[in-house]
Structure 1
Amino acid sequence: MPKDAAVEEFARLVRALKARDGRSYEALGRRLSVSASTLHRYCSGATVPEEFAVVDRLALLCGADEEERRALEAAWTEADRARRRTASPVPPLTPVPTAPESTAEPAAPEPGPGPAPDPAAPPAPPNRSPRGARAPLLVAAAVALVVLAVAAALLGHATRKGSAPAPAATPPGRAEAPLPFTWSVGSQLWEGGCGHTYLVDRAPRAVAPPPVAADAGAWAAKHSAVHGGEALVRITLQGRSPSDAVVLHALHVRVVDRATPLPWSAYRMDNGCGGAVTPRRFAVDLDRPRPLARPVDGVDASGAEVRTIPAVSFPYKVTSSDPEELLVSARTADCDCRWYLELEWSAGGRSGTVRITDGGKPFRTSGIAGRPAYLYDSASAEGRWITDAKS
C-alpha cells in the first residue's frame, strides 16, 4: 500500500537534513537521544515522531534556517494527521437488532402495468426474502459507525494533552507584524581586535597566514575553522521609533549539541593588540549543564588608562536614537558545543522571543586543551606557522 503523500514529504525533508549533515544515523541519534533505527524510520517514512521537538533539534543540529524549520513543522503536522488517520482502529461491525419475524407474509400490492420485457436483457434476479432486504440497513449502519470513529479520532488528536492545534495559515496578502526593533550579529570577533584561536583540520603548511580581524569571516570559511576555547558574539539592537522604547528582558543560552572537543590543531591569531572598548559584556560557561549569560564588567582600554565599565543586568531599553550592543563571550574546555541565544523583548503591548543564530546555524565553540598550537612567524623571510612554545 503506498504511503500517504504527507508522510512521504515529511520523510524527504528529514532525509535532506541528514544528508546535509553527513553524519551516520548512530552519531546523529546519540545527539538526539533516539536510536539509529528510530531515526532511520523517520527518514524512510516508516513512522512519524509523536512530537515535533526531536525533529526541531535535528534541524538545528544540521544548520536549518528559520524558513526551513517552519516548512519542516508544517510538513510534520500534516504527516502526523495522516499517521493518526491510518492508525485509528476501525470498530467491528455490530449487527442491527431486528424484530422477530412474523409468521404471516405481508400483503403484496397489486402489480401495475409495466413495460414490455426486453428479450436481450438478462433474467431478473429472484425475489429476496425479508431477511435479505435488511442487508442495506446493516451496510448503512456500519458506514455510520466508521464515520463516527474517524471523526472522534480527529477530534482527540486536535485536543490531546500537551499539544496545541496547528497554527492557522497567514491569509494571502497579510504579512506578520514586523519586529519593533532591528538586530544584527557578528560572530567572527577577536579579543581586543587581535587575540583569537581557531581550530583547523589542516597541517600548518596548508593554512594561510592570519588575516586582519576585518577579514576573519572569509579566512574562517575558507579553512572550515571552528572557534577554539572561546567565541565572541556581538549583538547590535536598535528600535524603530525614537519615542517608543523596546524593553529587552533576558538573554538565554540554548546548547543543542555536545561532543568531544575536536582533535584539530589550534592556530592563534595574535599579532599585537591595541585598545578596545567592551561594554555590556556577558560571560557564558558552555561546560555547565545549564549555561547562563552572566553580566560581567566591561573594559575601556582605548585611552591612556584602563577603565572598568560596571556590569549592568537586564532589562535594557532601546529606541531608534538609543541603540544597544551586547557582547557574549562563550567559553568551553570540555566539549565541541553548538549553541544559540534567545532574546526576550516587549513593546507596545506586544512581546516575543528572537532566536540569535550564526546566519541560521548554531554557533560552534570547541575546547583546545592538549591540541597542537601554532603561532605565525611573520618576522621570517618566508613567513610560516611555528609551534607555540607556551602550549
Structure 2
Amino acid sequence: MAVAAAVVTALFATLGSLSALPSGHAAPDAGDRVSGAPTAKAAGGARHGSATPSPSPSKTHGRPSGSPSPSPSGSGGTSPGPSTSPSPKAVSAGIPLTWTVYSHRWAVGCGHNYVIDKTPDQVPPPPAPQDASPWVQTQNGVHGGQTLVDITVQGRSDAAVVLEALRVRVVGRSAPLKSPSYFTGGGCGGLMGPGSFDVDLDMDRPIARPVPGDGEGADSRTLSMPFRVSVKDPQVLMVDAQTEACDCRWYMELDWSSRGRTGTVRIDDEGVPFRTSGIKGLPQYWYRENGWALVTD
C-alpha cells in the first residue's frame, strides 16, 4: 500500500450507530469485541495537530503474564506459584494503532462559526487557522452548526490494521445555544479530499454518508471503509458533523481488526465529547477592518 497518507474525511456512524442518550448522561464505553484473543480498548485521542500520532493511554484486558493463578475452588493447601510461561492473552493484548485528533479544521480553510457568550466588543479579532484551538478555548467558544474533525490513524508496526467502521454516539442533546455566532473568515485553503463523510447530528441515529471529494478526477472519488493502515501507511479520516436543531455532545468509536484480533477505540476531543450547537436564527458577526460587524443579509 502506498506510503503517502490517503486523505479520508470520515465520520462513520455505520452499522451499529446508537440512538442519542438523554442530555447529561454519558454513554459507557463500548465493550471490546473478541475474535480468538482478548482485545485492548483505549479512551481519548492523542494531542492535536501531530503529524505522527503518539500512543494513547490504553487499558488491557486479561491477566498479565507471570501473575499468580487462582487456586481451584474449595481446594486446600497453598496456591500455585506464578505462571512459568507467558500468557497468550497478555502477549497478544495491546492496541496495534495510534491516532491524533484535530477538531478545529475550517471548511476549505476559509473560516468557521463559533458560538461565544460575549458581546462583539469583548471578542478579540479572529485567529489564523492554525491558532484556532487556543483562541476558542480562551473565549469558551462552541462549534457553530458544524464541526470538522481530522483523525490521523497509523499502525504501530508493519502489520496491517484494518479500520472496519467509525460510529457516532450522541451522548447529550439540548436546545441550541442563544449566544451570538462569530465567523472567523479568512483566506481559503485546501479542499476536502476523496472519502469525505457527512453526518447529520439531528438524526436519532446519525450515520455517515460518503460524499465525493472537492477536487477533480481522482480527487473527486467517493471512498468508504474499510481502510488499511500500518506504521508506514497512515490514514486521515475527515469527519464533517452538522446540526441545526440541538446543542449536541458526541464522540466516535473506531473499530479495528488485525491478526485475528478486533477492538474499538474511542475518538473524542482530548478526553471530553465534541460539542456542536445549531446557529439558525442567531445574530451572526463577521470581522471587518474596524471590528466585528453584524451580518444583515
Same fold, TM exceeding 0.5?
yes
Name the CA shift for 1:264/1:294 in 2 (closer, same or farther; >3 Å). same
Q: In the alignment, which residue of structure 2 is the partner of 1:237?
A: 153
Are 1:336 and 2:271 counterparts? no
Name the CA distance, whole Å, in 2 between partners of 1:366 and 1:30: 16
Distance 1:176 1:377 in 2: 57
Q: Please list, as runs of the form range in 1=range in 2, the aligned pairs for 1:312-351 lying within 5 A after superposition.
A: 312-351=223-262
Q: Where does 1:305-384 land on structure 2 (aligned, <5 Å)? A: 308-378=219-289, 383-384=290-291
| 1:31 aligns to 2:23 (yes or no) | yes
CA distance in 1, matches of 2:157, 2:43: 26
Aligned equivalent of 2:27, options 57, 63, 67:
57
1:279 to 183, 188, 194: 194
TM norm structure 2 = 0.70
Conserved 8 A contact 2:22-2:171? no
- The answer to whether the 8 A contact 1:299-1:306 is kept is no
* Structure richer in strand, relative to its length: 2
For residue 85 of structure 1, what is the aligned residue in structure 2? Answer: none
Secondary structure of the 2:27 match is: helix
Q: 1:327 to 1:30 in 2, by over 3 A?
A: closer
User: Structure 2 CA distance, aligned partners of 1:306 and 1:198?
Assistant: 33
Structure 1 partner of 2:104: 188
The aligned amino acid for 1:255 is V
**What amino acid is aligned across from residue 264 of structure 1 in structure 2?**
S
Q: Does 1:292 align with 2:262?
A: no
Matches within 5 A, 1:125-140: none
Deviations 1:174-233 (A, max 9, x none): 799331111111011101122210000000000010000000000000000000000001
Structure number with greater Rg is 1
Q: Distance in 2 between matches of 1:216 and 1:233?
A: 13
Do the aligned partners of 1:197 and 1:228 also contact (CA within 8 Å) in 2?
Answer: yes
The aligned runs of 1:42-191 (5 Å cut-off) are: 56-57=26-27, 66=43, 177-191=93-107
Gaps of 5+ in 2: 1-20, 30-41, 45-60, 68-89
AA aligned to 1:222 is T
Structure 1 residue 253 and structure 2 residue 253: aligned? no
Distance 2:278 2:101 in 1: 23
Which has a greater percent of helix?
A: 1
Does the alignment pair 1:265 with 2:235?
Answer: no
Tell whether 2:296 aligns with 1:385: no
The C-alpha deviation readout for 1:308-333, integer Å capped at 9, x for no partner, is 52111111111222211110000000
User: TM-score, length-normalised on structure 1?
Assistant: 0.54
How many Å separate the matches in 1 of 2:188 and 2:259?
43
Higher RCO, 1 or 2 (CA under 8 Å, sep at least 6)? 2
Q: For structure 1, which runs of at least 5 residues remain unmatched after alignment?
A: 1-28, 33-53, 60-64, 68-166
Check whether the contact 1:299–1:307 (CA below 8 A) recurs between aligned residues: no
Q: Among the aligned pairs, what percent are the same residue?
A: 46
SS of the residue corresponding to residue 208 of structure 1 reads coil
Q: Offset at 1:238?
A: 1.2
* Deviation of the 1:30 alpha carbon: 6.3
TM superposition shift of 1:274: 3.2
**Cα distance in structure 2, aligned partners of 1:334 and 1:247:** 35
